[in-house]
Chain A
Amino acid sequence: MSKAAELAALIGSQTALSNRNLIINGAMQVAQRGTSATGIGGTGDTYKVLDRFRYGLNGGDATAGRFTASQAAITDLPGFGFAHKLDCTTADTSIAAGEAFTIQQRIEGQNLQQLAKGTSSAKAVTVSFYAKGTAKKYMLEIQDAENSRIIQQQFDVTTSWQRFSITFPGDTSGTVANDNAVGLYLNMWLHGGSTYSSGTYNASTWKAQSNADRAAGIDSFFSSTDNELFITGVQMEVGEQATPFEHRSFGDELAKCQRYYFRINYNGDNNYFAAGGVYTTTAAMAMLPLPVEMRAAPTAIDQSGTAAHYGSWGNGATQVCSAVPAIRGSSSKTTCAIDLTFSSLNSATGTYNYRIVNASGYIGVSAEL
């Protein structure tokens, strides 16, 4: 098909020409938390490296498997500079029933209304992505947790890059609430115990969520420390056709990511991150302005774990903290309120400026789904 014909087909199908991709950071450009993390595994769901891509490990039993995740620079896939790399570092061949491992992106319900899910006009959705790695069979799943429904399709990774394109039909059951909570989960199942794998695989059919089906028939990423997986170019769009990956600028993608997580790293001496006041000689509150209105008021802050990496300047003196910065519930979508603790400030009143005083210091603000 010529380019002109492709464009005409897109217009004719009423597919959006921009903002088609419902996935944020699909080209793996943004890694605010860091470009690599080691020893990931056990239980507990978490974001570690690439923004918006969450590791789901909370299946009920802890896997002994561990992996290193990284934002890998790539040169063998034209048009893409980064991939999400997973490298198994500890194998798990004795798999307990409740073990699970997914890569997940959670999508706000208000961004999914165009799918008309739960109506007679429900639209098909197509997920496309590039992957390579150790030859394995994995599962792609869309999960509607509000209505306990899933749809799935297995895919076979090989040692060469492939573009996978998987179209799921519209779902006429189960509406997605038009709000800022999770509407759908896009899951890639890479490992599952019998709780998740003892059922039946039904390709591309919406059905009530049966956990036993969710990883049915797949291989395990944790089968060997030789295993690795590279993924990039993840796109989810309305329609029955995968269009070319929608590349967005780094700035656009970063801003989209900062709706959910924002990190300030140390950037040299006098690295002020917020101003605020003190209300005793040991307690202060900083008000950190957020660069993008967040999805919701922040629910957590990350920091380096060392109190002395943070400090204040005020009333002509500098001091370092005696406890790590802590979140306050009085935050808003545009400002994060942070408690700072000191051994003894030189005043119990007044305005202070707060700063990161060590190269290892950072403040991360989370409003993740």
Chain B
Amino acid sequence: MSYSVMKTNEDNEVIYQRTDADGLVRRTCLAHDPEFQSWLSANQSSLPDDIQAKVDDGILTIADAD
């Protein structure tokens, strides 16, 4: 599974989506969702380009791992 940027909505909130191994998007989340943050922490050396761009722009912050 992997995460990507789904959209930026009318309230200027960035929504992220999790795509599972079968290609289906079963989860959408906000930046501070714990499961998303855990995935970011585990994969921060090889993030997808759209996610990395949000990190580089300061829009998405990766919290410290547990």
Closest to A61 in B: B42
Q: Is there an interface contact between B28 and A145, defined as CB atoms closer than 8 Å?
A: no
Flag B30-62 by CB within 8 Å of A: 1 or 0 each: 101111101101110000000000000000000
Q: How many residues of A contact B (CB 8 A)?
A: 31
Alpha-carbon distance A145/B28, docked complex (angstroms): 27
Alpha-carbon distance A143/B9, docked complex (angstroms): 38
A-B contacts, CB under 8 A, total? 87
Q: Is there an interface contact between B42 and A326, defined as CB atoms closer than 8 Å?
A: no
Residues of A with C-beta under 8 A to B11? 328-330
Alpha-carbon distance A302/B36, docked complex (angstroms): 13
Alpha-carbon distance A329/B66, docked complex (angstroms): 24
Q: Is there an interface contact between B66 and A185, defined as CB atoms closer than 8 Å?
A: yes
Alpha-carbon distance A46/B27, docked complex (angstroms): 12
Alpha-carbon distance A329/B7, docked complex (angstroms): 12
Alpha-carbon distance A329/B25, docked complex (angstroms): 19
A304 at the interface (CB under 8 A from B): yes
A residues near B (Cβ < 8 Å) are 43-47, 56, 58, 60, 143, 145, 185, 279, 299-306, 324-330, 339, 366, 368-369
Can you list 7 A-B contacts with CB-CB less than 8 angstroms, sorted by A residue number?
Answer: A47-B35, A305-B20, A305-B22, A324-B26, A326-B6, A329-B13, A329-B30
B residues near A (Cβ < 8 Å) are 1, 6-7, 9-11, 13, 15, 17, 20, 22, 24-30, 32-36, 38-39, 41-43, 65-66
